[in-house]
Structure 1
Amino acid sequence: MTSPAATVTAPVADAPAAPAPYAPRKALLDSMAPLLVDVGVPLVSYYALKAAGLSTFAALAWSSVLPAVRTVWSVVRERRLNGLAALMVSVNAVSLLTSLAVGDPRLMLAKDSGVSSIIGLVVLVAALKGQPMMSAGVRPVLVKGDAAKDAAWQRLSAGSAAFRQAEIRFSAVWGAALLGECVVRAVGAYTVPVETMVWLGTVITSATMVLAFLVSGRMGAVPMERMIAEEVEAGQAARTAL
Structure 2
Amino acid sequence: MTTNTVSESQSQSQSKKQNFAPLIMDVAVPVGSYYLFKDALGMSTFAALAWSSVPPAVRTVLGVVKERKVNALAVLILVVNVVGLLLSFVSGDPRLMLAKDSGVSSTIGIGILVSVALGKPMMTAGMKPWLVKGDAAREAAWARLQSGSAAFRRAERVFSVVWGVVLLGECVVRVVGAYTLPVDTMVWLGSVVLAVAMVLGFLVSGALAAGPMAHMLAAETNADADLGAAPVAAPAPAFAE
TM-score, normalization by structure 1 = 0.71
Asked whether the 8 Å contact 1:132–1:168 carries over to 2, the reply is yes
Q: CA RMSD in A?
A: 3.8
| Unaligned runs of at least 5 residues, structure 1 | 1-9, 50-60
Aligned length: 215
1:142 to 126, 131, 138: 131
- 2:66 maps to none
Larger radius of gyration: 2
Please list the CA deviations of residues 107-158 of structure 1 after superposition, one character each: whole Å capped at 9, or x if unmatched: 2322222222232123124324533110000000001111110111111111
Asked whether the 8 Å contact 1:119–1:178 carries over to 2, the reply is yes
2:94 to 86, 89, 105: 105
Q: Within 5 Å, give how 1:45-124 maps onto structure 2.
A: 62=44, 70=52, 72-73=54-55, 82-124=71-113
- 2:2 maps to 11
What is the one-letter code of the residue matched to 1:146? D
- 2:15 maps to 21
Structure 2: distance between partners of 1:226 and 1:24: 22
- 2:213 maps to 224
Structure 2: distance between partners of 1:121 and 1:205: 17
Change (3 A) 1:192 1:92: farther
Change (3 A) 1:13 1:140: closer
Structure 1 segments, 4+ long, off by >4 Å, are: 13-16, 23-27, 29-34, 61-81
| Unaligned runs of at least 5 residues, structure 2 | 64-69, 233-241
* Identical positions, percent: 50
2:188 to 185, 199, 209: 199
What is the one-letter code of the residue matched to 1:155? R
TM-score, normalization by structure 2 = 0.72
Work out which structure has the larger RCO, using CA pairs closer than 8 Å and 6 or more positions apart in sequence.
Answer: 1
Q: 1:25 Cα deviation (Å)? A: 11
Please list the CA deviations of residues 8-50 of structure 1 after superposition, one character each: whole Å capped at 9, or x if unmatched: xx233895533331159978x959968x969xx7xxx7xxx9x
Q: Within 5 Å, give how 1:151-162 maps onto structure 2.
A: 151-162=140-151
Structure 1: distance between partners of 2:32 and 2:187: 15
What is the one-letter code of the residue matched to 2:188? W
Change (3 A) 1:67 1:167: farther
Asked whether the 8 Å contact 2:19–2:134 carries over to 1, the reply is no
Matched, 1:215 2:204: yes
Q: 1:200 Cα deviation (Å)? A: 1.6
Asked whether the 8 Å contact 2:84–2:104 carries over to 1, the reply is yes
